[in-house]
């Protein structure tokens, strides 16, 4: 019966295009609806809000959070945030006496505030984040307070839309991100003049570099280096159908982001589509989970500099059978570790375990 289900409220700062919001949407859709009645709260609306509502998930937008908590009466609240202290943000959950409070700690930061102690389980999105958290804060990131839960990816959908044996363009590769300077690295562009020279001198087939999330600096670089006939800037996309269509137009993904990834949703989706990925390490203590996803020489390559980046791009362009093999290795890894239905099932069990531990059910 409807009233017998566990009421879950997921909370996010916005309903925009970012990976955090997409993960929240995936959880809401894939949690067992016979067990959980899931709703979503955000102080601001966005394009993802419409997608969530179209999938039958109730949303509360812009309403006073305490009013929402009083109306919805959740057994579990799951907040999605960076992890650091946000003074006052958790106070409504204390006032409403929420039985269980769970946090997806997107970037693996530490909240030492008294409010932070309200959280019953911190979920890290990669083992990298959990290990860095433990090392930096001298806090063992272990259960029952901490655990790792990978971000969900609809690997079944990508298998259907990007199937084994499909025709893959051999001269096209791509990059996808938000149009945000913080999502870029010079490596994403600096290999292009090297590759262009090789195409000219060694009579290689011309390539296409398809970019979603271009920024003015990238467009200027392409113009300044006379690369307009090789690089294509495409408009932003939102749905998995649009992402699959883009991934079907390329033979591998180029990932270059100096900030690094706490998980790397775009990488995981490319893997789920059967594409190899070229990435690079981040410096110092920056996010580095991209190295947790990409296995060098097996599911793609990890380039340490511009010359290596160009070398690996050329290898995948000129060795399509090896590229396909790497892509299928990545698909198998994604299906094993990131499948949305499996991740949602694990999350549901975490909720149930915490509710039992706190004697809330």
111: which residues sit within 8 A by CB, 6+ positions away? 83, 84, 85, 86, 119
Question: Six-digit token pair at 234?
Answer: 């495409």
Instruction: Say whether pLDDT at 1 is over 60.
Output: no
- Which tens digits make up the pLDDT trace of 14-48? 998 888 999 999 999 999 999 999 999 999 999 99
> What confidence tier does 2 reach under pLDDT thresholds 50, 70, 90?
low
Set out the domains of the chain in order of their start, with CATH numbers: 2-152+339-357 (3.40.50.11380), 156-337 (3.40.50.2000)
Instruction: Say whether pLDDT at 201 is over 80.
Output: no
| CA 30, chain centre distance (Å) | 16
Residue 117's pLDDT is 95
Mean pLDDT of the residues in the chain: 95
> What confidence tier does 273 reach under pLDDT thresholds 50, 70, 90?
very high
- Which tens digits make up the pLDDT trace of 204-248? 788 999 999 999 999 999 999 999 999 999 999 989 999 999 999
Residue 206's pLDDT is 86
DSSP lists the bridge partners of residue 233 as 211
Residue 96's pLDDT is 96
Residue 331 to residues 30, 164, 294, Cα–Cα distance (Å) = 20, 10, 11
Q: Any idea of the CA torsion for 17, 18, 19, 20, to the nearest 10 degrees?
A: -110
Q: Of 115-124, 197-206, 243-252, 274-283, which gets the smallest average pLDDT?
A: 197-206
Residues in the chain: 361
Residue 267's pLDDT is 98
- Which tens digits make up the pLDDT trace of 295-348? 999 999 999 999 999 999 999 999 999 999 999 999 999 999 999 999 999 999
């Amino acid at each position: 019966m409807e009233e017998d289900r566990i009421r879950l409220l997921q909370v996010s700062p916005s309903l925009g295009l970012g990976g955090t919001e997409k993960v929240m949407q995936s959880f809401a859709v894939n949690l067992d609806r016979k067990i959980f009645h899931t709703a979503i709260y955000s102080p601001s609306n966005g394009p993802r809000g419409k997608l969530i509502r179209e999938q039958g998930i109730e949303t509360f937008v812009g309403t006073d959070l305490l009013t929402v908590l009083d109306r919805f009466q959740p057994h579990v609240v799951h907040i999605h945030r960076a992890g650091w202290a946000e003074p006052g943000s958790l106070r409504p959950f204390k006032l409403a006496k929420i039985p269980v409070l769970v946090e997806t700690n997107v970037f693996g930061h530490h909240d030492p505030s008294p409010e932070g102690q309200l959280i019953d389980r911190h979920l890290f999105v990669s083992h990298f984040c959990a290990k860095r958290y433990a090392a930096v804060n001298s806090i063992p990131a272990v259960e029952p307070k901490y655990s790792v839960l990978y971000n969900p990816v609809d690997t079944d959908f990508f298998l259907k839309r990007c199937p084994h044996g499909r025709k893959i363009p051999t001269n096209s590769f791509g990059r996808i991100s938000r149009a945000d300077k913080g999502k870029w690295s010079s490596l994403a562009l600096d290999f292009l003049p090297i590759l262009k020279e090789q195409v000219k001198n060694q009579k290689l087939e011309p390539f296409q570099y398809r970019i979603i999330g271009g920024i003015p600096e990238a467009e200027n670089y392409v113009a300044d280096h006379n690369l307009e006939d090789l690089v294509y800037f495409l408009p932003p996309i939102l749905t998995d159908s649009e992402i699959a269509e883009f991934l079907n137009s390329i033979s591998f993904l180029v990932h270059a982001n100096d900030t690094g990834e706490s998980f790397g949703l775009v990488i995981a989706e490319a893997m789920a589509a059967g594409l190899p990925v070229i990435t690079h390490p981040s410096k110092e203590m920056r996010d580095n989970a991209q190295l947790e996803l990409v296995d060098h020489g097996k599911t793609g390559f990890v380039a340490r500099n511009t010359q290596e980046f160009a070398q690996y791009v050329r290898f995948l362009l000129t060795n399509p059978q090896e590229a396909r093999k790497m892509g299928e290795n990545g698909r198998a890894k994604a299906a094993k570790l990131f499948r949305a239905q499996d991740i949602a099932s694990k999350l549901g069990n975490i909720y149930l375990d915490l509710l039992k531990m706190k004697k809330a059910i």
